[in-house]
Structures are given as C-alpha cells and as structure tokens.
Amino acid sequence: MRRVLRFAPLVTMLGCGPSAHDLLSGNHFREAACATEEGRGEKREVSDAITRALDPRLHVDVMSDEAVLAAAPKAPPELSARVYFVRVHVATNEIPIDHLGLSLDTAGDTPARVMDLDSLAQLTGEHSPPSHTATETHYLHNAVSGAINIFTLGLIDPGQQGPTTTVVPPNEFEWREAAPSAYSLYSAFNGAGCSERRSGSEEAPHVGMSCDATFMVQRASAGTLALDLGMLYSATRLSHNEEMRAMRDDASWNCRLKARVHVPLGSVRELPKTTAATFGSRYRSVHELRDEPRTSEVLR
C-alpha cells in the first residue's frame, strides 16, 4: 500500500534556480515548497502535486448497534438511537518533505464531535469524576542557599520560590469507577490520533502520516456528513545551517504550505449503509471521493 517516491538532491540558491513546475516534475517537493515563497511558482500547483503524491487513503465505518451493546452492556438502551460512533482511518504515502501534519475534522450540517470521555458520560447518564489540584513547592538549590540553610539550622529556606498549583485530570481508575459504561465505550472505540512515519536519511527524509479518530454523530439528523482533511507541508531551505536548525520554526528557513481536502460522506440517515458500500473492508483514495477532483483548497 505504501509508495515511496525517489528523491535526488538538488542544490538551489535563494532567489534563483529552477521553477516550482520544473522541480515538481522531478518530485523535488521540498525545494518546490520553498520555490513558491521565492516567487518561482504557484502555491496551488505545488500543493496539488504534493497532495497527489501523498495520495491520502481513507476508511470510514460506523459501529453497529451490536458492537455498541457488546462494548457497554449496561449503558442505556436508547444510546444507540442517539448517536453513531464513526471510526475514521487515514494513511498517506511517504514523500520527500521534512515535516507533514494531518488533521481530521467533520463538516456538513450535522452535529458531530470527536469522541471524548466527558461527552460519553453525558450520553450514558453517568457523572464525570472530578479533577484534582496538586500543590508543589519549589526551592532554589545552589551553594548560597545551602550554606544559609546550614547556618540557620534549617529553620528557614531563603531559596523557597512559593507553591505552584496544577490541575490533575481524573485517571483511568477514577473514570472506570465513576462512569463504567462511558469508560468501556471509550476503551473500545477510541482513536489513536495521528502519527508521523519517517524513512530515508535525516538530511532527505521521506515522511508519511497515519490518523485514527472516532466521531460521535447525532443519529436523528436529517443533514449530511463530510470530512475535512487538513494537511501541512513543511520543508527546510537547503541553505540552512546548524544555527538556523536550532531556531526551529523561524520563517526565514522553514517553508510551509497548507491544504484542505473536503470528502462528502452523504446523508446521515443512510450513513451505515453508505459507508459499508463505499469502503467495506478497504481503503479508498480521497482523490476518488473528494467533491473537487482537480484541486485542493490552499490555506494561507
């Protein structure tokens, strides 16, 4: 399923060199991304070429009522009639770029949100466990404060910086005790988020992404559902040095492009049937599914 494109180093100078179109013809995506910021190409052309090479592949399925019941047998019976649990998986090729970001969001006119424990507890009629506060006192540890401590026999600590209070969210055990049905559903259906895959050398990496998310969609809606895939491409100018590398996000050496691909999933009322027919057990390329087959939306 993975397709790795070959990368050949190509030296360019800031403000001159091949056009973005010429760079794209050789799959020099890192250089092409920077060429657009130097006036040697259109962001749209480069973004579309990178998106085509990434070839994001999508799989969507709706958890069946039987799966929901098996995950949380003590949850209210009306739970399945209120929401769909929609699992979304995305995977891309690895291409010669320095960094790649991928985000998933729902679109359309149907209320939907990423599944979380608090929302699940509301659905199951359970109460979320409370957060806690933790107070920690910080001290200065150096030779001066240590000498004074010894001199005063430890009666005072001139190095004390005062307390710091932080909010500690409930842990896994507390969720399992307070909201067992919500916790069971979360454990069964929760997505793993997004992760970056890298291969090749550090100087010329090939980067891909994979994402796994679960959305809660209001089942009674008469509207439609869609997915928005957001992509961030980041390349490092070939002229960077070690000092510039340490600056990380400095725009003077980091070139970025953003794009979004809109993928309609159809009517919510027909969602289980539609996703089963569209995807089954296989991934589909978003290029086959998107409502704008030729270009993606470039975000500035």
pLDDT of residue 117: 95
Considering 94-98, 224-228, 232-236, the range whose residues carry the highest mean pLDDT is 224-228
Contact between 71 and 184 under an 8 Å Cβ cutoff? The reply is yes
What interhelical angle do 180-189 and 117-124 show, nearest 10?
A: 130
Predicted confidence (pLDDT) at residue 201 exceeds the cutoff of 80: yes
pTM: 0.74
State the pLDDT confidence band at 258, using cuts at 50, 70 and 90: confident
pLDDT of residue 4: 35
Task: Note the pLDDT tens digit of each residue in 141-155.
Answer: 554 444 444 444 444
Predicted confidence (pLDDT) at residue 247 exceeds the cutoff of 80: no
CA–CA separation, 85 and 75 (whole Å) = 14
